[in-house]
Amino acid sequence: MTERFSINVDGVTHEIMAEPDMPLLYALRGELEKKGPKFGCGLAQCGACTVLMDGVPIRSCVTGISDAVGEIRTLDGLGTAEKPHPVQAAFIEEEVAQCGYCTNGWMMYSVAMLERNPNVTDQEIRDEFAGLKCRCATHMSILRAVKRAAETMKA
């Protein structure tokens, strides 16, 4: 049965009519036209759909809209073309993206990690990224970008 849900996405509250078990990803992409989170596997295994809920990375493909409480942040809401978030700027400077499909997940996990602690070690970065997938094998570029963003965020 369709219900009304109030969700806060990128600082704006939206009213959405949906089934309670509709994936949050469908609301973000279909209703709110967010381009950051992507449908990848649909099983919470790849990370392409990652968003932050109250600063914690979640897989929006398996999170029902009824469970979307708190502030949802998407890649779309991090920065602008004129003033990108430090993580976005670092990914651009390090030319991380090849196909770019998985970039959303890597960036959202990076933001969550660096906002908690910009003094991360290489091992902490690798541990944070366990479970994310990149078929283009840009992992070393991602590591460089995260370290670059960490330096910017420390300042």
Among 77, 99, 128, identify where a domain stops: 77
- Inter-residue contact 25 to 60 (CB < 8 Å): yes
For residue 98, which of 59, 129, 141, 36 has the smallest C-alpha distance?
141
pLDDT tens digits, residue range 36-94? Answer: 999 999 999 999 999 999 999 999 999 999 999 999 999 999 999 999 999 999 999 99
What CATH number did the domain enclosing 105 receive? 1.10.150.120
Pair (8, 71) in one structural domain: yes
Q: Report residue 72 as tokens.
A: 């949802």
User: What's the CA gap between 91 and 78, in Å, rounded?
Assistant: 13
What is the rounded CA–CA span in Å between residue 63 and residue 12?
A: 19
Full residue range of the structural domain in which residue 130 is found: 86-154
pTM: 0.95
Q: What is the pLDDT of residues 108-135, one digit of tens each?
A: 999 999 999 999 999 999 999 999 988 8
Domain boundary among 53, 77, 101: 77
With a pLDDT cut of 70, the percent of the chain lying above it is 100
Q: Tell whether 32 and 51 lie within a shared domain.
A: yes
Domain count, the chain: 2
Say whether both 67 and 111 belong to one domain. no
Indicate if 61 and 97 belong to the same structural domain.
no
Instruction: Answer yes or no: do 102 and 134 share one domain.
Output: yes
CATH number of residue 11's parent domain: 3.10.20.30
Is residue 143 domain-shared with residue 126, that is, in the same domain? yes
Final residue before a domain boundary, out of 52, 77, 102:
77
Claim to verify: residue 102 and residue 131 sit in the same structural domain: yes
Per-residue pLDDT tens over the stretch 23-49: 999 999 999 999 999 999 999 999 999
Q: Which helix (H) or strand (E) holds 59?
A: strand 56-59
